Amino acid sequence: MALTLAGTGCNTATEQPGTAPKTPPPGSPAGTDVYYKQKLSWKNCGGGFQCATANVPLDYTKPGDGRLRLALIRLPARNKSERIGSLFTNPGGPGGSGVDFLRQAATSFGKDLRERFDLVGFDPRGVGASDPVKCLDGPQLDKYFSTDSSPDDRREVDALAAESRSFAQACQSKSSAELPYVGTVNAARDMDILRAAVGDDKMTYYGASYGTYLGAFYAEQFPTKVRALVLDGAVDPKESSTETLVEQAKGFETAFRSFVADCLKRSDCPLGTTEDEAIGKVSAFLRKLDKTPLPTREDSRKVTESWATMGIATALYTKEYWALLRQAFVQAMQQSDGTLLMTLADQMVERKKDGSYSNLTAANMAVNCVDKPNPPTLDAYAKYVDQAEKSSSLFGSFVVWGGLPCVYWPVQNKQQPYAVTAKGAAPILVIGTTRDPATPYKWAQSLASQLSSGVLLTLNGDGHTAYLQADPCITKATDRYLIKAEPPKDGTVCQ
């Protein structure tokens, strides 16, 4: 597949050759050495950034049978004389573009980090500009997301199943050659090739959300190559695919109740005067949308129960959106206008104004479905929906039914989930936020305890992940760890 990078026609930037030996780890299949020895050609691509592409094997068991091209971006260290190396970053997803993330978030990293590290982002295999997985087009995704994700009867369940099956079939039709190889284990192997390609002897890394899962599997496969890994908003590797979704639904419920508690203190809160009243009012509002969707002022789409739930969930990712969510509820409940809820939902799935989407949804499903085993049938899957609804009345059905395409996925993984220990790795910093909606705090506790060198740092707060919230306590501890490889005391809590 062709790979296009913005700015690749610009002049070649100054290259800083690395000094680390470019050799594959012991036991690697014959043929991987050519990937480890490759030299990247960095080119200016605007805003002080440099871009490059790297080659990795499609199939690590047969390195000579095909390759993928990965897109990279870096912001060179400001202080060349005190440069430590590269700080690799991943924003999560799976399916989030690391290239786009670094362009948007580079200035959010600590000043000392930007002085001493090249900040490096990359699109993992199948993501963004790295030979992206392709599935449904814009109109098809509109239909998919509009389908009732909280079905009330067998007819609606069957309709949801049909859309989910179509999703899986479209991915098979358009990306069959790549689907077996886009999982996290291979993406983590790619990271070691990228480490060697930039000339670093060991890996320094910041991963958020799914990026923690990717980082944990890097450490598991290459423990002696770990210099410093920050795993922020941790995912628990030992949970099953469906257990992960059930727990995530609980996380959104916890986060929403925190939003409600804050909302009830505000004069512009349209949800009543008590938490129970507010939850009941939102539940009734969503049930009404199930029968009568709301129009928007942006396009012809209507805000269904599914779109509205997605919009609410989006606003829980950061406290900065809570005021917008209050406004969205006022607009929808009092003015019968779903525009703000739809705007929030579109942000979650990276839908553009022209009706097209990034490949986030396709890549997210492709990686999740191949990483862990999935229930074999619709009825077996539905049991987990019932379980989630008991602990999360607002989000249980929405979150868990969202993984249904995996039941019909053309590639299935039989490897059961297991605890990741990364025995022999240097200290690894795991960060958890107590009311994180998408990666519940218990996952950070679990991952830190699984890792043989795990150190837990906690933010007692709201929102998804901690470091980019610019909490001074978190920033200071994290930056010190990344620069000096000295973690904070295990169990440190930032208020």
Quote the CA–CA distance of 244 and 251 in Å, as a whole number: 10
Determine whether 152 is an active site residue: no
Phi, psi of 196 (to 5 degrees): -65, -35
Catalytic-role residue among 436, 462, 471, 479? 436
Annotated active-site residue in 148, 464, 471, 479: 464
To the query of whether residue 392 is one of the catalytic residues in this protein, the response is no
Evaluate whether 96 touches 64 at the Cβ level (below 8 Å): no
Which one from 97, 175, 209, 397 is the annotated catalytic residue? 209
Angle between helices 360-371 and 184-197 (to 10 degrees): 110
Q: Report the C-alpha gap between 103 and 74 in whole angstroms.
A: 9
Question: 140, 91, 71, 86: which is closest to 118 by C-alpha?
Answer: 86
Q: What are the φ/ψ torsions at residue 12 (nearest 5 degrees)?
A: -65, 135
330: tokens are: 């006022």
248 alpha carbon, distance to own chain's centre: 13
Cis bond leading into 25, ω under 30°? no
Tell me whether strands 492-494 and 428-435 are parallel, antiparallel or unpaired: unpaired
Please state, in angstroms and rounded to a whole number, the distance separating the CA atoms of residues 102 and 74.
8
Q: Are 289 and 305 in contact (CB under 8 A)?
A: yes
3-state SS, residue 469: helix
What does the DSSP assignment read for 401-468? HTTGGGGG-SS---PPP-----TTPPPEEEEEEEE-SSS-HHHHHHHHHHSTTEEEEEEEEESS-SGG
Burial class (CB in 10 A: 0-12, 13-18, 19+), 240: middle
The tokens of 165 are what?
């099956």
- Are the C-beta atoms of residues 245 and 383 closer than 8 Å to each other? no
The span from the CA of 146 to the CA of 414, in Å, is: 32
Checking DSSP bridges between strand 428-435 and strand 226-232, what pairing results, if any?
A: parallel
Q: How far is CA 106 from CA 49, 404, 453, in A?
A: 10, 35, 28
- Catalytic status, residue 131: no
Compute CA distances 137 → 130, 166, 310, 311, 358, whole Å: 18, 12, 19, 21, 10
Active site residues: 209, 436, 464
